[in-house]
């Protein structure tokens, strides 16, 4: 190790300190964006999607009921041997029954998705908080320490 240092310019350190500031700001912005996306997905998983599928389930139940009623009316109007005349009504019953089944499947899937999302949030929380600590605390402290070092070196170079 050298006994003395020959320091004439600290501009590179100043540039690096400036870079640390920009990097800290960029990390803070990215952390905010990640938190916003997490909140958006959480709202969708826990509120928007369940509300949509509840509405669609209710609508499909209503349409199945209406289609069955129309089929029953059609069958009541025609002779037993002419039930083929009600194929359009039967087709609508089948379509709405399939839609209702799909809605019921989606409702069940949503419960699994909600559980998986909550587990993902819990598992990733430490990584996110670590990024926040790095950008808010550690980079800020590193920058402050570097600023102090630059000040000391600038005083040294003026001697």
- Residue-wise pLDDT tens digits, 26-56: 888 888 888 889 899 999 999 999 999 999 9
- Residue-wise pLDDT tens digits, 2-30: 566 666 678 888 888 888 888 888 888 88
**Structure pTM?**
0.68
Both tokens assigned to 52: 């949509």
- Looking at residue 8, its pLDDT comes to 67
Q: Cα dist. 57→8, 25, 49, 51, 62 in Å?
A: 75, 46, 12, 10, 9
- For the chain, give the number of residues: 159
- Residue-wise pLDDT tens digits, 105-153: 999 999 999 999 999 888 887 777 666 666 667 777 888 888 888 888 8
Q: Are 107 and 54 in contact (CB under 8 A)?
A: yes
């Amino acid at each position: 190790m050298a006994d003395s240092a020959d320091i004439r310019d600290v501009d590179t350190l100043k540039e690096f300190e400036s870079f640390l500031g920009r990097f800290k700001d960029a990390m803070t912005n990215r952390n905010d964006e990640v938190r916003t996306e997490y909140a958006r997905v959480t709202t969708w998983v826990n509120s928007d999607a369940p509300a949509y599928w509840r509405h669609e389930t209710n609508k499909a139940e209503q349409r199945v009921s209406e289609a069955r009623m129309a089929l029953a009316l059609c069958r009541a109007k025609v002779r037993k041997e002419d039930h083929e005349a009600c194929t359009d009504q039967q087709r609508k019953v089948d379509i709405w029954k399939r839609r209702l089944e799909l809605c019921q499947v989606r409702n069940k899937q949503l419960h699994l998705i909600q559980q998986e999302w909550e587990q993902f949030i819990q598992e990733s929380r430490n990584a996110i908080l670590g990024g926040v600590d790095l950008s808010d605390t550690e980079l800020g402290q590193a920058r402050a320490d570097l600023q102090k070092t630059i000040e000391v070196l600038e005083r040294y170079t003026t001697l």
